[in-house]
Amino acid sequence: MNWRRALFLLTALSALALAACGEDDSASEATEGVASVTQAESGPPQPLSPAGMRVIQRARDAVSAHCRQVADALGKGAMPPQASFERATAALDELAELAADQPEAEAEDGSTPRLALGDIAEDLEGTNCDPRLVARIDQALAGLPAE
């Protein structure tokens, strides 16, 4: 009689385990379905085109050149050239436009236009370069879609 009771308990437990697994599988399948739809809608990040990489580099170069001219002018007690500021802001505006269109497009190094804007702003923090550039970058970053 003991073996019958043990067999009955084993059968009952197996049936419960199978029922529970079936419920979990259907729940996970439903969740996976939602996740796959979400991934299909957003998809993996698109690679940043060579033109996009050049936009990032132009912005970095223009800001760097402007900061050098600001430092040079301050050393001489002069004002930095307005043309330098205009080149830097034009390059930042171009990068901000790229970041608005493709904020998460990835460059080969894993950078994105959004990250490039943030990196430039971070590089400017604590420098005597030009606070107007940081304000412009902050405004551009604030206008980007949430991550």
Domain boundaries, the chain: 1-42, 50-142
Q: What is the mean pLDDT of residues 42-46?
A: 70
On whether the CB atoms of residues 116 and 56 are closer than 8 A, the answer is yes
Q: Does 63 score more than 80 pLDDT?
A: yes
Q: Does 124 score more than 50 pLDDT?
A: yes
Q: Does 7 score more than 90 pLDDT?
A: no
Q: Does 132 score more than 80 pLDDT?
A: yes
Q: Express as a percent the part of the chain with pLDDT over 90.
A: 54
In whole numbers, what is the pLDDT of the chain averaged over residues? Answer: 78
Task: Find the radius of gyration of the CA atoms of the chain.
Answer: 28
Q: Does 103 score more than 50 pLDDT?
A: yes
Q: Which of 39, 60, 43 is nearest to 113 (CA)?
A: 60
Q: Express as a percent the part of the chain with pLDDT over 70.
A: 70
Q: What is the mean pLDDT of residues 114-140?
A: 92
DSSP, res 107: P
On whether the CB atoms of residues 103 and 133 are closer than 8 A, the answer is no
Residue appearing with tokens 């050149």: 65
pLDDT for 128 = 84
On whether the CB atoms of residues 132 and 85 are closer than 8 A, the answer is yes
On whether the CB atoms of residues 120 and 58 are closer than 8 A, the answer is no
Single pTM value for the model: 0.68
Alpha-carbon distance 37 to 43, whole Å? 9
